[in-house]
Amino acid sequence: MAQIDTRTAVTRTVVITGGAGFVGSCLATRMHADGWHVIVVDNFCTGDERNLSALRGSDRFTLIHADVSDGLDVPGPIDAVMHFASPASPPEYLAIPIETLKVGSLGTFHALELAQANQATFLMASTSEIYGDPAVHPQVESYWGNVNSIGPRSVYDEAKRFSEAATMAWHRTHGLDTRIIRIFNTYGPGMQVADGRVVPNFICQALRGEALTIYGDGQQTRAFCYVEDLVSGILAVLERGDEQPYNLGNPAEFTVGEFAELVAELVGGNEVVYEPLPQDDPKRRRPDITRVSSTLGWAPQVDLRAGLVPTIAYFRERLGL
């Protein structure tokens, strides 16, 4: 199987769909710093062009304003295609369910076709949501999941499951060099204030002096990975991985209630209010990262408290506080 040679990365070109989003932009910035020519394709449906401001003006950075679901016309040669285009938070994908399904199906096809035309390595950014509300804990890559295929969250869950199936079909049918990563809860500077997930919700509520809103009883669990750790894991998979899926996340597990207490401690005391748990919201979420750790030597380095410090500072600046 072909491998990316980091020693010659200075001459290589990567296309990152959804590269103006939170994770995509952090990945674009890291790869640019590593010497890659980075081409970002984004329609700014949920991405933010400000996330790419540090790359502006570089002759190794190209920004294409386009919707990958409509096609992907990027001149070669291209060495890697990394498909990150998709809404990722429930408020985002529930607001545009059809577009979410299209980018996970048509968008994935177009990204795979671009990789095939260039004989490039293809990396599919999948998600822990493919496990649904899991009956197996912690979640291992061999677990097939517990997903409600007709529930409101299915537009995201099933789009990603389809994307994984398409990636494996291209690998088996065309011999394309492919990777699949399943991203668990990730946080850090670059997230949107109105993202809707628990990290920006709690931090922004605390900074504004508002009550922290917990959905459910607060006993559901999450495992939070700092974005710089995640990017290092993504690059490890790109450079040395194989075609089978890799969980990427931090296995340290916290209840939502414990996370609320930590945010309140770091930002200031806040009361907590409880709202009903959304339909099909997973009760427990924790990655088993044995596969990526044992085969590629990757493990997260930043603990939750340390990662929240720059994240809180980022949101404080974004809110003008």
Active-site residue numbers? 156
CA atoms lying within 13 Å on the CB side of residue 316:
11
Q: What's the maximum distance between 2 C-alpha atoms anywhere in the chain?
A: 56
Q: What is the dihedral of CA 26, 55, 61, 115, to 10 degrees?
A: 10
242: closest CA among 290, 183, 291? 291
d(C-alpha 197, C-alpha 18), whole Å:
19
Helix (H) or strand (E) holding 247: strand 246-248
The values of phi and psi at residue 247, to 5°, are -70, 135
Give the integer Cα–Cα distance in Å for 123 and 137.
26
CA distance 240 to 54: 28
| Number of neighbouring beta carbons within 10 Å of residue 11 | 11
Instruction: Return the amino acid letter for 233.
Output: G
